[in-house]
Structure 1
Amino acid sequence: MPIFSKLISKIMGIEEIQRQSIISFGGQIVLTIIGFLSTIYFARTVGASVLGAYFLFMAYHNIIGMVTDGGIGGAAIKRISEGEEQNEYFSAALVLRLFVTLSILILIIELRDYFVDLDNAGIFLWLLAALALSMLKGPLYSGIAGCGKMGIHATGNYIGDISRILFQIMAIFLGYELAGLAGGFVVGIIVSITIALRFFDLHVTLFEWRHIKNLSTFSFWLFLTSSGILVYSYADRIMIGYYLENADVGIYQIAVQFAALASFSTIALRSTLWPKISRWGKEQKIGLIEKSLSKAINFSLTLAIPVMIGGILVGDKLLYGLYGPEFSEGYITLVLILIAQIMNVFQYLFNTYLGALDFQKMSFKATTIGAIGNVILNILLIPVIGIDGAALATLITLALNSILLKKYLSNIISIDIEYPSVINILIASGCMAVFLILYRLLGSTSSTSLIIVPVILGAIIYFFILIRIDANIKKELKEIAIQTHLPWPKWL
């Protein structure tokens, strides 16, 4: 396979952090596209009610998974990334995770009657299987991330996610619906574990009580912080399911997934930056940390702002045309969540940097305030204005959390936002917006193809103008093209 070998050689020739960011970002793009198209298929095939039940399954899995992890995974990444006694910290984390997960699984089985919706749907056992497999996947990927192998970390997760989606598509085609969606989720975990085992270098060894203590000290605050973040992510879905119907959960989650297009670059950056920031913090390389944060904010807003503006202008047509008439009811929810994604850029990055720099207590304080506010607002707003209330609660509390996190992080490092680049992003987004508005006024949007075409053209207009007016972004993209021996247009 000379072509494949040549491609790998080119990729490995790129500087480490840039290479890992490209792999992570590229994988996120592929996964987002596949996930986007598959969700359209699921929505049109099984409808909002079945999707809503699956989204509740996911919410239960991730919340229980947060408890079984207990912050151990993040603590293991932190300690292993410091480069000392890596095998011992991995082994301690593995034993802790096995003990906690087995204890939780026994408890869940005893409380099976409280999961009546999942049990009646026939997917309770799938939930147990997914949680059991996490006992192995969690420590494996923590070890890989701690060793700085973020390309493998990202690739393994992406391939697992793609395998999940492909299996789900086949299962839905064969008529398995909800059980097929849950079963595909378990298949994806198995594939991810298989890939991790192939590239895993650490090994199980004897460890001491101090290793457990060091992990527990860090994981305690990380666990509490993660709990707050998961409240943002899943409490609204569970409350919608309680107050409203499964179909409302499906409509809400589709709007959330659609809006997530605005923040996937931020998520891709986090997995790459965390171990590097941790190492730089230990070595007191504050300048590198501050520079990386500035670039991360700029890189994230490059996508978040135009997606927000485009979603506000044509989101109603896209929801109707892509997912079906019942999902167009989530347009106002989509608008609110898109605005919230701008807040999420700052919240996500500030949380990442505080955690990687070992200031979990500060992150916990801010996240706790936001999480409590989120629950209270959901309780007050969902019964009154439905799923729009859940979106509004998310927007308000993410804004509050971002402000508090910025206050804490600014006491540790300088936060420098590249305002000239932000202005250029707004200018390019404004040009795109003018095009989309004119198209809606003068053109037809009666079919899916007639609304997707202007979206694609709008994206081209945005990136072309941005590259022309922002020298820094142009320079970075050109450097990547040169290092990978890709052609760079002379007219740019």
Structure 2
Amino acid sequence: MLIGKRIINQLCSLASKGVELGKIFILNVLSARSLGAEDFGTLSFIISVATVMGVITEFRVQDVMIKRISMGENESKIITNAICICLSFSTIGFLITTLFSCITDINISWKNYLALYSVIFIASSLKVFKYAFIANRNNIANCAVEVTSLIASLGFYLLFFSEELTINSYIYIRIFDAAMVSTLGFVMYKIAYKFKLTKPSLVNIRSIIVESGPLVLSGFVVILLQKIDQIMIKYMLGNYELGIYSSAANIITVFSIAPMLISQTNSPAIFRLTEGSVEYRKTRMKYIRNIAFLGLAMSFILLGASKYIINILYGEAYAEAETILKISFLTPFIIALGAASSQIIIADNNSGIVFYKSIMALILGATLNFILIPLMGIEGAAISTLLAMLLSNVASNIFIKKYKYIWHLQCDAILLKDSK
């Protein structure tokens, strides 16, 4: 790909993810102001639980899809099989959540909200086409999908919910947006690449599930690691404190997404290299270095903005969240290192035990939360989460022999050492 086209592709990738996250972020801010910290805490808890479940219901086929398409495998077959996997797991997730709501105490409102929210699992099933666009380095199409969905969702919001945002209306808007993205992605991909559904192959479906399995386990534990603080805050401190904490967590997510996205967008470059090639190590170090320094830049921007951004977006009612931002400002940098390393692990087919890293961090995070939340409140949760993520994304590579080479790559990239 020519340099100009590569830059345009990356800019469109950032714009696409910016619009995607922007929709959710603005909706969260509006909801926080409308609901107040108590009810916003309830909504945040529902989203946290659904996010953890979502890793399983989409079965995280995106990384395997991008890798296989980048390596030249038949796109129609890969996409068809991925759709079958996502539809199957998302439907099972929806049914389990609904059954859970029906057989438990109906007076516990968050369970009913969660059952309604789980419709988004099915609505998101066709998002596989977004990842197919990424594999084809066509993020212009993804950008068009997100912008069109934004316009449609804005119309949906203004038509039905502009007077008042409730937890129910928030959920309806999110489901509508997910369905729009899935539908538009399918239509645009079909037009651009003459896509046709093929007959599903049980052998290939099994192959994708087996290859994705460790990534799903790892992703599940990683998301649980990211959300365990919010879940524990709800039960140890209450919804009000969770609402305050979640306002900061939403901002941290926005600042962390750029390095995660660029790591995925640039991953085809490392997937195409073989170990014997001259550019093999040099390309990998440059790949990690670029993403790491992008994450570091986002961390310092977050630190500089922490004094003002909470009051500007959420209002004085959420002012306590400023401390959380200052404690957690290095999160984008740590996530950047982990995101780049994960793509290299996938390229090397070394993902079989990757979930060990996340399990180690989850145990540390849960233990620290249990100790520090009663002592320090939500600040303790922020410290616990930061240390656990540092273990998951960086320090665990020291202790797991199979990933020690990742630790050396990370150190060499950050310390600006020349590749050999």
**What is the TM-score with the length of structure 2 in the denominator?**
0.83
Counterpart among 295, 302, 308 of residue 300 in structure 1: 295
Higher relative contact order (CA 8 A, sep 6+): 2
Q: Is the 8 A contact 1:38 1:169 kept in 2?
A: no
Single out whichever of 248-257 and 100-109 deviates more from structure 2: 100-109
- Determine if the alignment matches structure 1 residue 252 to structure 2 residue 256: no
Q: 1:260 to 1:17 in 2, by over 3 A?
A: same
Aligned residue in 2 for 1:52: 41
Aligned residue in 2 for 1:212: 205
Aligned residue in 2 for 1:242: 235
Shift of 1:181: 1.0
Q: Is the 8 A contact 2:362 2:388 kept in 1?
A: yes
Shift of 1:365: 2.2
Shift of 1:126: 3.0
- Determine if the alignment matches structure 1 residue 344 to structure 2 residue 338: no
Shift of 1:398: 1.3
Shift of 1:219: 0.8
Aligned partners of 1:381 and 1:158: how far apart in 2?
42
Deviation sequence 1:138-169 (CA, Å, 0-9, x none): x3334333334333235534654675577557
- Determine if the alignment matches structure 1 residue 25 to structure 2 residue 14: yes
Deviation sequence 1:345-377 (CA, Å, 0-9, x none): 222322233234432135322222112222222
Shift of 1:418: 5.7
Paired residues, number:
405
Shift of 1:310: 4.2
Deviation sequence 1:291-335 (CA, Å, 0-9, x none): 222222223322322322442xxx2x5434542333112232222
Aligned partners of 1:115 and 1:389: how far apart in 2?
32
- Determine if the alignment matches structure 1 residue 93 to structure 2 residue 70: no
Deviation sequence 1:403-439 (CA, Å, 0-9, x none): 3355465626844436579xxxxxxxxxxxxxxxxxx
Matches within 5 A, 1:170-319: 173-200=162-189, 201=193, 202-280=195-273, 286=280, 287-311=282-306, 315=307, 317-319=308-310
| Unmatched 5+ stretches in structure 2 | none
- Determine if the alignment matches structure 1 residue 127 to structure 2 residue 137: no
AA in 2 matched with 1:103: I
Aligned partners of 1:227 and 1:327: how far apart in 2?
29
Shift of 1:32: 6.0
**What is the TM-score with the length of structure 1 in the denominator?**
0.72
| Unmatched 5+ stretches in structure 1 | 1-11, 422-492
Q: Is the 8 A contact 1:374 1:394 kept in 2?
A: yes
Shift of 1:117: 7.3
Aligned residue in 2 for 1:411: 405
AA in 2 matched with 1:45: S
Q: 1:186 to 1:57 in 2, by over 3 A?
A: same
Q: 1:350 to 1:52 in 2, by over 3 A?
A: same
Aligned partners of 1:235 and 1:256: how far apart in 2?
12
Shift of 1:62: 1.5
2:413 counterpart SS class? coil
Over the aligned positions, Cα root-mean-square deviation in angstroms equals 3.2
Q: State which structure, 1 or 2, has the greater radius of gyration over its C-alpha atoms.
A: 1
Aligned partners of 1:125 and 1:93: how far apart in 2?
25
Aligned partners of 2:361 and 2:116: how far apart in 1?
32
1:111 counterpart SS class? helix
Q: 1:157 to 1:231 in 2, by over 3 A?
A: farther
Q: 1:290 to 1:64 in 2, by over 3 A?
A: same
Calculate percent identity across the aligned residue pairs: 18
Shift of 1:230: 0.5
Matches within 5 A, 1:107-126: 107-112=96-101, 113-114=103-104, 116=106, 119=109, 123-126=113-116
- Determine if the alignment matches structure 1 residue 368 to structure 2 residue 359: yes
Q: Is the 8 A contact 2:97 2:115 kept in 1?
A: no
Q: Is the 8 A contact 2:295 2:335 kept in 1?
A: no
Q: 1:48 to 1:160 in 2, by over 3 A?
A: farther
